[in-house]
Amino acid sequence: MGSGVTYLDYQSTTPCDPAVVEAMARWWTEDFANPASRLHRPGLTAAAVVQQSRAAIAGSLGFAPEELIFCSGASEANNLAIKGVAEAELQRGGTRRRLVCLATEHRAVLDPLRYLAGHGFELICLPPQVDGLIDLQRLEQALNPQTLLVSVMAANNEIGVLQPLAAIAELCRRRQVLFHCDGAQAVGHIPLQARELGIDLLSLSGHKLYGPKGIGALAIAPGIELAPQQHGGSQERGLRAGTLPVPLIVGLARAVELAEADREKRGQRLAQLRDALWERCQALGGIQRNGAAAPCLPHNLNISIEGVEGNALHQGLRRSLAVSSGSACAAGEPSHVLQALGRSRLEAAASVRFSLGRPSTSTEVERAGDVLEETLKTLRRA
């Protein structure tokens, strides 16, 4: 990355892999036809590559091709899953009104749920345990005959903790409650045989896994009715109107394929770099790790630093590092995730999320350690 800044914010977004850009190229310029134009050969060619891409992505998650709906990203997929399930329940005259989530969900889950809470649904937002993991007993208690949907993410975008998806799915299955999982931070990063795990609805996003921005998908298990959230055409089984972005779809499929291919090795390498950074942090003193060290994404490290002020900390770091305090989508406010773990607003503000990625090197991680050390020296002296 230019500008002399070391980028360690790969959970915010990743660079598009050059092989992905290459795979997309001809679908922008040469083979540009609309896959809904079934009366001519170029249209059929576009439809065929969409179908291939759909099958490859869905298959990697254990879903059938027709169970995958393309959309603009995980925010849209979450909205379609959550509001789609709730509206379908209303339309069929069902009486289930309870929705359950974890307080540490991304805003792209929390906001649609809150929207529904303002429209006659009941929202139960479960506090996590101090390590960020769900308390399964609490979840079980929240499931009653009125519960329609549980939404729990696979991997947290701020603290990286991995939720026990199979156990959550099993509790939901026993109560005939639908289980939606925001997999934006997990797909391509951890093994995720979503159907086998019992996930009913899975959201994913291209730009979190070295694919293009502006593309994502919702996988939907058979038999689940959703009310469309975007009207205007019969694309995507009538669930999501709009001309399909063929190049982005091809790019997403290639990105998923590449991410799966190097997932294990990349994870091991990044975990080593991350662990080295954590050792370095521990040597600086007055630093606590946020969230469970395991199970956790291999490329995430989230820390809170004692005795420094959040704004000053990030001002110091940003001259040389691109890191985050909390989620890019909630910029400005101290992290609701860290506060849900019991951190105060001040502690949450004085926190740093390092997230490593495919291009990260040991030199970059050492540099991050140096910059943190220098910044803390200056701030602590002051």
| H-helix or E-strand spanning residue 108 | helix 107-117
Per residue in 259-290, is it b (16+ CB within 10 Å) or e — as a string?
bbeebeebbebbbebbeebbebbeeeeebebb
User: By CB under 6 A, how many residues form the interface with ligand PLP?
Assistant: 15
At closest approach, how far in Å is the CB of 204 from ligand PLP? 8
- Give 126's strand partners: 102
- Total count of residues recorded for the chain: 382
Q: Looking at beta carbons only, is 39 or 331 nearer to ligand PLP?
A: 331
For the question of residue 296 being annotated catalytic, the response is no
- For 274: left if phi > 0, alpha if psi spans -120 to 50, otherwise beta; the answer is alpha
CB-CB neighbours of 294 under 10 Å = 9
Q: How far apart are CA 207 and CA 331, in angstroms?
A: 19
Among 35, 160, 216, 369, binds ligand PLP (CB under 6 A): 216
> Which one is catalytic: 71, 101, 172, 329?
329
Per CB under 6 A, 201 contacts ligand PLP: no
At closest approach, how far in Å is the CB of 108 from ligand PLP? 4
In the region spanning residues 57 to 116, those forming contacts with ligand PLP, defined by CB under 6 A, are 73-75, 106, 108
Interstrand relation of 287-289 and 300-305 (parallel, antiparallel or unpaired): antiparallel
User: What mask, x for binding ligand PLP by CB under 6 A, covers residues 152 to 171?
Assistant: -x---x--------------
Q: Looking at beta carbons only, is 108 or 368 nearer to ligand PLP?
A: 108
At closest approach, how far in Å is the CB of 82 from ligand PLP? 12
Q: Looking at beta carbons only, is 300 or 375 nearer to ligand PLP?
A: 300
Count of alpha carbons within 13 Å of 166, Cβ hemisphere only? Answer: 5
User: What mask, x for binding ligand PLP by CB under 6 A, covers residues 8 to 47?
Assistant: ----------------------------------------
Per residue in 148-185, is it b (16+ CB within 10 Å) or e — as a string?
bbbbbbbbbbbbbbbbbbeebbebbeeeebbbbbbbbb
Among the listed ranges 57-65, 182-190, 266-274, 340-348, the one in contact with ligand PLP (CB under 6 A) is: 182-190
Q: How far apart are CA 114 and CA 126, in angstroms?
A: 14
Alpha-carbon 199 to chain mean position: 15
User: What mask, x for binding ligand PLP by CB under 6 A, covers residues 346 to 375?
Assistant: ------------------------------
In the region spanning residues 254 to 283, those forming contacts with ligand PLP, defined by CB under 6 A, are none
Among 104, 185, 304, 375, binds ligand PLP (CB under 6 A): 185
At closest approach, how far in Å is the CB of 43 from ligand PLP? 28
Q: How far apart are CA 182 and CA 79, in angstroms?
A: 11
Q: What is the CA radius of gyration of the chain?
A: 21
- Closest chain position to ligand PLP (CB): 73
Q: Looking at beta carbons only, is 104 or 320 nearer to ligand PLP?
A: 104
The DSSP-derived string for 40-106 is SHHHHHHHHHHHHHHHHHHHHTT--GGGEEEESSHHHHHHHHHHHHHHHHHHTT----EEEEETTS-
At closest approach, how far in Å is the CB of 77 from ligand PLP? 8
At closest approach, how far in Å is the CB of 24 from ligand PLP? 17
Per CB under 6 A, 329 contacts ligand PLP: yes
Cis-peptide, bond into residue 295, ω within 30° of zero: yes
Assess contact for 338 and 327: CB atoms under 8 A: no
At closest approach, how far in Å is the CB of 73 from ligand PLP? 3
Instruction: List residues with catalytic annotation.
Output: 329
Q: Which positions touch ligand PLP (CB under 6 A)?
A: 73-75, 106, 108, 153, 157, 182, 184-185, 205, 216, 327-329
